[in-house]
Amino acid sequence: MIKDVEFVVKSIADTALKNEQYFTELDAVVGDGDFGYSLARGFEKVLEKWDEIDRTNPGAFLKENAKIIMSSVGGVSGTIWGTAFLRAGMTIGTNDTVTKEDIGPMLRAVIEGIKKRGNCELGDKTYLDTLIPTTDAIEAAISEGKDALAILDIAAQVSADAVEATRPMIAKRGRASYTGERSIGTLDAGSVALATMIKALSEDWRV
């Protein structure tokens, strides 16, 4: 099952690099325009060290990815993504495999980690506004016994809808919060990145 975890991380990294300019342009509308660059540099470092990363078990693999990201990316992106990988790795612990039933608890741990590190909640126009509804949908799909492809398809659709739902929100965290009501009508760059990664993963899984 470590191969599946590797596959997911590799897909996320590739998507971050491919969409660096797109994510940067989104962030530049109301942010400081460094989001895409920061994200790409972090995952670029992950790919550079790919063959050296500890693969003793999925938890160790995820935690080492967290260290690489936090040590190579400054600002909010490094903290958020490092926290996400660290919390996911801590949740799975030293288990040799990751089952479908582990995914919900891992995502919930990521959500709580982001809330704490980012001092944010649902409705603040952040990653959470896409991550939380997508996690809800994934958990429901798993409980219904759907297979991986069906779960990913559902996640891709729900995350896309959640991104659009950030448009009328006022940004309350990060550089975008300084723009106040001017942030209304824009999409949250973090949410867009997350949804783009989920869509890419659902496509990559079919290859």
In degrees and rounded to multiples of 5, residue 34 shows phi and psi of -110, 0
Number of Cβ within a 10 Å radius of residue 108: 15
pLDDT for res 83: 95
Number of H helices, E strands in the chain: 9, 0
Residue-averaged pLDDT of the chain:
90
Which of 104, 63, 36, 97 has the alpha carbon at shortest distance from 112? 104
Does 30 score more than 90 pLDDT? no
Q: For the segment 92-128, what is each residue's pLDDT rounded down to a tens digit?
A: 999 999 999 999 999 999 999 999 988 889 988 889 9
2-204: CATH topology = 1.25.40
Contact 127, 106 (CB under 8 A): no
Show the tokens assigned to 167: 């448009």
Residue 179 — very low, low, confident or very high, per pLDDT cuts 50/70/90? low
Q: What is the pLDDT of residue 119?
A: 85
3-state secondary structure 128-188: HHHHHHHHHHHHHHHHCCCCHHHHHHHHHHHHHHHHHHCCCCCCCCCHHHHHHHHHCCCCC
Residue 49 three-state SS: coil
Letter for the amino acid at 52? E
- Is the CB of residue 76 less than 8 Å from the CB of residue 118? yes
For residue 198, pLDDT over 50 is answered with yes
Reported residue count of the chain is: 207
User: Percent of the chain beyond pLDDT 70?
Assistant: 91
Domain borders along the chain are 2-204
* pLDDT > 50? residue 178: no
